[in-house]
A and B are shown apart, each in its own frame.
Chain A
Amino acid sequence: MKSTLSLLALSISLTAVLTACVTINIYFPAAAAEKAADKIIDEVWQLKDGVAMPANKAPEKTTEKVIDPPAK
């Protein structure tokens, strides 16, 4: 009887924790959204050297060295 009670208590508390997790997911994740925004803006405005930059540099100036970019 006692063990059944403690099991019941355990399930109730676990359920409470689980519900809390689900609740978190419903709220807007502002920090994650900022991270996502930064990533997209960096790519659209090409603020960081990376994937987007070299593609746009394609029309090279003749004064630039034609050697491959230095190893990073």
Chain B
Amino acid sequence: MFRENNMQKIIFSLLLLLSLFNSRWVNAAADLDVNTPAISAIKSSMQNRHAQLAGHYASGAIGLTKDGLIAVRDATALPLKDRQGINALVAAENSDRNALYKEVAAGNGHPEWQGEVRNIFAGRWIDKAQSGWYFEQDGGWAKK
């Protein structure tokens, strides 16, 4: 009888420990880690590029697409000196953005989340855009 009781206690405390460990693990998953070296590098590259892009968002030359990227919307809104470089600028930004979505998903152990991460970002970029900036909707471009 005594032995059985002891055995029970041991099993019970083991289970308790396991559940504690597990709940801590689940809590850790409540936040996504966005401080990996890869993400930080992409972020600072985008931060530097934003100085060049900001004016073009405001003029409507480029807009935010619904898939979390940017696109040339109206090249005539660009000053002549910027027209040649705009495609390369947009391509560089989009490649950073694609890498960012990939890294946020992969950095948190779920590469398959990439598409969902992109969708979340797409919505948040538009929500945080300044008024006057253009964003893509189902029917085409809309002004914020």
Contact = CB atoms under 8 A, between A and B. Distances in A.
A50 to B, nearest CB: 12
Contact of B19 (A17, A24, A43): A17
**Interface of chain A, main secondary structure:** helix
B142 interface: no
A44 B50 contact: yes
B92 interface: no
A11 B11 contact: yes
Contacts, number: 85
Contacts of A52: 47
Interface in B20-53: 22-23, 25-26, 29-32, 34, 39, 43, 46-47, 50-51
B100 interface: yes
A25 B29 contact: yes
A54 to B, nearest CB: 13
Contacts of B143: none
A34 B121 CA distance: 7
Interface string A3-15: 1100100110010
B120 A33 contact: yes
B29 A29 contact: yes
27 contacts: A7-B11, A7-B12, A10-B12, A11-B11, A11-B15, A14-B18, A17-B19, A18-B22, A21-B25, A24-B26, A24-B29, A25-B26, A29-B32, A32-B30, A32-B32, A33-B120, A35-B32, A36-B104, A37-B124, A38-B124, A40-B43, A40-B100, A40-B104, A43-B43, A44-B46, A46-B47, A56-B51
Give me the 4 closest cross-chain CB pairs, A-B, nearest first: A36-B32, A37-B124, A33-B120, A44-B46
Interface of B: 4, 8, 11-12, 15, 18-19, 22-23, 25-26, 29-32, 34, 39, 43, 46-47, 50-51, 100, 104, 110, 113, 116-117, 120-121, 124-125, 128
Interface of A: 3-4, 7, 10-11, 14, 17-18, 21-22, 24-25, 28-30, 32-47, 52, 56
